[in-house]
Amino acid sequence: MSTIEAVTMPKWGMTMTEGTITSWLVTEGDVIERGQEIVEIETTKLSNVVEAAAEGILRRIVLAEGTTAPVGALAAVIADESASEEEIAAFVASYADRQGEGLSGQSAGTSSRTIEVPGGQINLVEAGAEGGETIILLHGFGGDLKTWMFNQDELAAVGRVIAIDLPGHGGSSAVAAGDPVADILIRLEAALDTVAPGKLHLVGHSFGAGVAALLAGRRPDRVSSLSLIAPVGLGKTMNRDFLVDFVAAERRRPLQNVLERLFADPSKITSDMVEETLKSKRLEGVPECLSQLADAIADQTGQRISIGDTLTKLTCPVLLIWGDLDKIVPLPQAGEVPANARLQTIANAGHMPQMEAASAVNDAIVENIRRAK
Amino acid sequence: MAQKSFRQALNEALHHEMARDPSVLLIGEDVTGGAGANGEKDAWGGVFGVSRGLLGQFGPERVRDTPISEAAFIGAAAGAALTGMRPVAEIMFSDFFGVCLDQIMNQAAKFRYMFGGRARTPLVIRATYGAGSRSASQHSQSFHSIMTHIPGLKVVIPSNPYDAKGLLLQAIRDDDPVIFLEHKMLYDTVGEVPDRAYTIPFGEARVVRDGKDVLIIAIGRMVLVAEEAARLLVAEGISACIIDPRTTSPLDEETLQEFASEIGRVVIVDESNPRCSIATDISALLADRCFDDLKAPIKLVTAPHAPVPYAPNLEDAYIPTPAAVADAAKMIARR
């Protein structure tokens, strides 16, 4: 029997229930490469391109341009030449039968909850099934767990994926005054002991990657692999103006200007992304909190967090993923990458490769997780 | 995040601000909601249930029922504001602005200007507006355009629960008189609203949805109509951007101008009558500033120049519909 792969309506974030096909970038009969951009989809909040998760021939387009369909619906079929037309038709029919069985609305297995730990609340979103690997996602400064909208469901293929709002961000409560980084570490450790007591694969972005590395240093026994996307803490240089301007931006236009520095292609920034960021920044106490954190990340002389020595002592696989056009935390210099870490650069991506080159980053993370075995 | 109704969002804002600031008080007809509820104080929380629980928590000194005289209690509220209180007055239906317009237009709106900039008037006037509830022509009107015309007033017209809470908190903390308009048909709409307090600055439009073919500017409840129209347009291959100004005074001219110039095709949707309205005002502004970038005439989809009818079929025909907005967009989208 030939391998037949489904291209389905993706789920980009908790609130997405359906999407509309705006245009197909390939036609039936085209040879598709893994990672190739194949279809443009619009939701009520954003429009984005879906990359092929399989290679082969695009045998069938099921959802025509202009069609709106629920998350999980079959959009197209990729298979090689050996699959017969009958097999393709049977595959499409099997999907049609599944329509309406939990495909619409929030995908089964994705749930949001807030837990109490000493020092405050931690908000998190879980996806995927228990029993496989457990993957923890930690976003960067000023962000929240929605950073992982193009990653969490994809990574759920290998296990349970928990995206966490860092203290002082998203739905989690504020950080304590004094030493905010220490407070974040203590509360995250408590949260992880509650929700995911076994071995973990830690994935972090930017400041969240620094936090992930420090967590691994505190609890090396619990960490199976470490995937760090553009982490703070390896070098001394970073764009401190970004931190300061981000905290200061109270309105849409100034914030958009700041967010544009994160991406190699600023057109990836949607108005919804700007509004959602403003929403979290408007919450009482958040600006003060971010300001404290910004000071803890960098001062006039550069970065204040250091993870190099911590990483060197780890025995688990350590992967560094970096966009080659990162304008916030520049690519590490020779000598700044620990000997036990692998550095994978992503071409034409800025400080947010997990959004700008989602499938390449997802593949790299999955590969790093597999190395742990 | 918690899902809350527009009504709950407003109620939370009032609770939060009354607890935080002892100078905040409510004044209006039936704001305690006790009347008609078998003597149980606070049973309703006002005719629309927005002030529920406030009388019990903050007492009759700070949640004050008044006789049916808008001129009297709006005047009292304006005076209280001058003395340093932060009153939130409620006019049950904005149709009754008529009976207290002198207090609003000639008094509250003028104090800062006539007293050499030394008077502050931190007054909020909440009022319902809008058609759709079968309440006939004296309880269904949309007067935000009239209030926007008066200098010295700020005019806020939220379209969703999140904005309702953040804008009401901002309104109460603002040092000028603010007209805060709530569409009756929005009270039961639901959306994500944080438990914590937050404020949304005035004069900051929200980009509701990105799109490249046509810009729809919609006011208050009409944002929902525009969103439905945008869904209809997707099926036609037309991608609509929607902007909600959120406040009509101050108006975020910069954002409207930026998007109108970029997209070049504009539809404005408004429930107020079309002569001398916010729709014609925005249209004039964009025609003046973006003329060279416009690729088609600016289209207005508004109520007709007529009172709101009572007959349900006529009332439905009076209110701009998603189909009418989509038609207007289609007319200009491919020019």
Q: How far apart are CA B94 and CA A363, in angstroms?
A: 58
pLDDT score, position A105: 39
Point out the residue among B196, B201, B237 whose CB comes nearest to the CB of A284: B196
Residue A108 reports pLDDT greater than 90: no
Task: Report residue A130's pLDDT band, with 50, 70 and 90 as the boundaries.
Answer: confident
Across A105-111, average pLDDT: 55
Asked if residue B191 has pLDDT above 60, the reply is yes
Q: What are phi and psi of B89, to 5 degrees?
A: -90, 145
Q: Taking Cα atoms as reference points, which of A328, A360, A355 lies closest to residue A344?
A: A360
A107 or B282: which carries more pLDDT confidence? B282
With a CB-CB cutoff of 8 Å, which residues 182-201 of chain B face chain A?
194, 196-201
- Confidence at residue A177, expressed as pLDDT on a 0 to 100 scale: 79
Quick one: pLDDT at residue A101? 44
**pTM for this one?**
0.87
Q: Do residues A307 and A205 lie in contact, with contact meaning Cβ atoms separated by under 8 Å?
A: no
CATH 3.40.50.920 residue ranges in chain B?
206-333
Q: Does residue B267 contact residue B299 with C-beta atoms inside 8 Å? A: yes
pLDDT bin (cut points 50, 70, 90) of residue B56 is confident
> According to the model, what pLDDT value does residue A2 have?
67
Report whether pLDDT(A42) > 90: no
Q: Say whether pLDDT at A102 is over 80.
A: no
Contact B134, B312 (CB under 8 A): yes
- Residue B103: the pLDDT is 97
Backbone angles phi and psi of B271, in degrees to 5: -90, -10
The span from the CA of A291 to the CA of B70, in Å, is 46
Q: Indicate the pLDDT class of residue A109, thresholds 50, 70 and 90.
A: low
Could you tell me the fold of the domain covering B206-333? Rossmann fold (3.40.50)
Q: Which of B213, B234, B253 to mutate to test the interface with A (most CBs of A within 10 A)?
A: B234
Mean pLDDT of chain A: 90
Give me the helices (H) in B47-197, please.
54-58, 70-82, 97-101, 111-114, 144-148, 161-173
Backbone angles phi and psi of A318, in degrees to 5 = -125, 120
pLDDT digits (tens, 9 = 90+) for A276-305: 999 999 999 899 999 999 999 999 999 999
Asked whether the predicted pLDDT for residue A45 surpasses 60, the reply is yes
Q: Would you state the pLDDT for residue A352?
A: 96
Q: How far apart are CA A346 and CA A348, in angstroms?
A: 7
The boundaries of every CATH 2.40.50.100 domain in chain A are: 4-98
Chain A residues interacting with chain B (CB cutoff of 8 angstroms): 20, 22, 42, 44-47, 65-66, 68, 171, 250-253, 270-272, 274-275, 279, 282-285
Whether the pLDDT of residue B6 is over 90: the answer is: yes
CATH number assigned to the domain covering A4-98? 2.40.50.100
pLDDT value, residue B58? 92
DSSP state of B323: H
Average pLDDT for residues A213-224, to the nearest whole number?
96
Contacts of A279 in chain B (CB under 8 A): 162, 194, 198
Residue B335 has pLDDT above 80, yes or no: no
**Which of B197, B210, B254 shows the shortest C-beta gap to A271?**
B210
pLDDT band for A104, please (50, 70, 90 cuts). Answer: very low
Mutation target vs B (from A16, A68, A283; most B CBs, 10 A cutoff): A283
What is the per-residue pLDDT across B28-41, written as a single tens digit (0 to 9) for each?
998 887 554 555 56
Where does residue A216 rank: exposed (0-12), middle (13-18), buried (19+ CB within 10 A)? buried
Residue B121's nearest CA partner among B152, B160, B167, B100 is: B152
Mark whether B139 is an active-site residue: yes
Q: Which CATH class is domain A111-371?
A: alpha beta
Q: What does pLDDT average to over chain B?
A: 95
Mean pLDDT over A184-204 rounds to 95
CATH number of B3-192: 3.40.50.970
CA-to-CA distance for B86 and B126, rounded, in angstroms? 13
| Residue range(s) of every CATH 3.40.50.1820 domain in chain A | 111-371
The confidence band for B219, taking pLDDT boundaries of 50, 70 and 90, is very high
pLDDT tens per residue, range A62-73: 999 888 888 888
pLDDT at A107: 46
What pLDDT does residue B38 have? 53
